[in-house]
Amino acid sequence: MMKMPAFGTLAIVLSFGCATPVLAANQFDLVCKGKEQKRTGVPATAWNERYRIDLDGKRWCRGACKTASEIGSITADNIILSDSRAAVGGPGDVETTLSRTNGTVKEYLLMGWSGSAASLAEGTCQRDSFSGLPGQRF
């Protein structure tokens, strides 16, 4: 059996596209389930949502994914989606926090200059295969 030098093994590994899983690790869907508070004084109802996340492109979308938006911020602990309901016809001042450490999701309405917020939805998310984002036209 012929021994191959270490650099030859590395070249073969790279030529077969083993770098692709690294990219895929930064592109994923999150399937989230929990409770949603639609109105004050009304009991919370079941809520579920699918988010498509591309960390490298800093883009995301939700639901039917008709348009992608820019991710507000990415840290080691959280992914923040600004105006997270605007693309689906909701108010523009909703923010979603996806915890990268415990898998929770919290969506809340920002309440103006006071800095307070009202919870809209909370739950947990499971990672799923990336189903893509809408393409760019130019």
**The overall pTM is greater than 0.85:** no
Give the lowest-confidence range in 18-22, 72-76, 113-117. Answer: 18-22
User: Is pLDDT of 14 > 50?
Assistant: no
| The pLDDT value given to residue 24 | 65
Exposure string for 90-100, b = 16+ CB within 10 A, e = fewer = eeebbbbbbee
pLDDT digits (tens, 9 = 90+) for 42-80: 899 999 999 999 999 999 999 889 889 999 999 999 999
Q: What percentage of the chain exceeds 90 in pLDDT?
A: 49
Alpha-carbon gap, residue 80 to 27, rounded angstroms: 15
Residue boundaries of the structural domains of the chain: 28-128
